[in-house]
Structure formats: C-alpha cells, structure tokens
Amino acid sequence: MAESIYSVIEIVGTSTKSWEDAAKTAIDMAAKTLKDLRIAEVIKQDVTIENGKVSNYRIRLNISFKYHGKK
C-alpha cells in the first residue's frame, strides 16, 4: 500500500432533531467540497436551550480527508 497523507479539519453541524442528524448534516455538506473523506471524530456535543427546552443539537467533528497536493 502506498503511503498517504491526510488533512484534518474541524467542522460544526446543527440540527433540531438529534446529534446524529447534526453529524450527518455536517458530513453531507463537507462531502460536497472535500474529496476522499475518511474519518469523523466527535469532539464535542452540546445543545441550545430556549424556554427551558432543547431547541438545537450541535456537534463538533474533526474530519480527515486524503491530501492530494499539487500536481
């Protein structure tokens, strides 16, 4: 197997439904502009509270993707 290099970025996704939906939304959006996504690591989960109820789920992810460099 050839050696590979990966870049890692931090992204934040939000959802009114769940942390899982927030993660899926973030990854789906990142996949539109980044190639070869490999791993998503959950860094932090939190919620927004309005009037004593959860209004939004927020998830912070580190996402790795293959670095292709300049050709």
pTM for the complete prediction? 0.82
Number of domains within the chain: 1
Q: Residue 38's domain spans which residues?
A: 6-66
Asked whether residue 71 is assigned to any structural domain, the reply reads no
CATH number at residue 46: 3.30.1660.10
State residue 32's pLDDT score: 96
Asked whether residue 1 is assigned to any structural domain, the reply reads no
Please say whether the beta carbons of 60 and 44 come within 8 A.
yes
Of the candidates 45, 47, 42, 46, the one whose C-alpha atom is nearest the C-alpha of residue 61 is 42
What pLDDT digit, counting tens, does each position of 15-51 carry?
A: 999 999 999 999 999 999 998 999 999 999 999 999 9
State residue 71's pLDDT score: 60
What is the end-to-end Cα distance of the chain in Å, rounded?
A: 20
